[in-house]
Amino acid sequence: MSNDLVRQGYNKAAENYSSKRDQFKNNKYLEQLVKLLKPSAIVLDIGCGSGVPVDKYLVNKGFNVIGFDISEKQVELAKANVPKATFEVRDMSKLKEDEYKVDAVISFYAIFHTPREKHQDLFKKINSFLPQGGYILVTMGAGEYEGLEENFHGTKMWWSHYGAEKNKEIVENAGFKILLDEIDIGGNERHQIILAQKI
C-alpha cells in the first residue's frame, strides 16, 4: 500500500518537487563526503529523484553515479538531467544483499517513505554493497512519526520513521561508525543527516 502511494505521489509531483528541491541545501554535507572519496569512486543514490541537484553535483566532480527511484517519472527526469549517470526504476524495499558493489551510498529524503520496521534490514543490505571503509550519507526523520500527508506538492504522501536516537542506533547496528550526525533545518523542515563509515 505505502509503496504504491509513494510511487504514485512522486510520479504526480515529479516536476513540482524537482523545481523546489534546491530549498534543501545538501552541498555542505556532500562536500564532506566528496573529501573522503577517491577519484572516480562509484556512488549509489537510493531514491535519486530527478537527479538534480545531488547526482549532477557528483558527476560534475568526476564520480560515477548509479541511481534508482520508485517513481518512473523521476527516473525519466534523471536520465534527461544527468545523462552521464545510470538510472533505473527500483523499489528499495526489494534490494538484496551484495546486489551492488560501490564505494559510497547516499539517500536523501527517501528512506522515511519505507516502513520504519524495515530500516534496520535496509541498512544491513546497504552495508553489503560497500567495501570496508566505504561511506554512507543519508537523511532520516528527526522525530518519530508514521502517517499520511494529504498535500505533499499537490498529492498524497506516506512517511514512516523513528526519532534521531533510534536512527543512530540502526546505523551503528548495521556496522557503521558515525562521522557526522546533525539535525538540519533547511527548507523550514527538520531532517537528521548521518555520514558514516563501514567498519
Count of other CB atoms within 10 angstroms of residue 88: 12
For the chain (199 residues), the mean pLDDT of every run of 10, in chain order, is 54 52 70 97 96 94 96 93 97 96 96 92 98 97 83 67 96 98 85 97
3-state secondary structure of 63: coil
The residue ranges of every structural domain in the chain are 2-198
The answer to whether residues 40 and 20 touch, using CB atoms and an 8 Å cutoff, is: no
Fold adopted by 2-198: Rossmann fold (3.40.50)
Q: What is the pLDDT of residue 6?
A: 47
Contacts of 138 (CB under 8 A, 6+ apart): 105, 106, 107, 108, 111, 171, 193, 194
d(CA 152, CA 25): 19
With cell 556512488, the residue in question is 43
Q: What is the pLDDT of residue 189?
A: 79
| C-alpha separations of 28 from 16, 70, 93, 174, 184 in Å | 24, 26, 28, 25, 11
Q: What is the pLDDT of residue 157?
A: 64
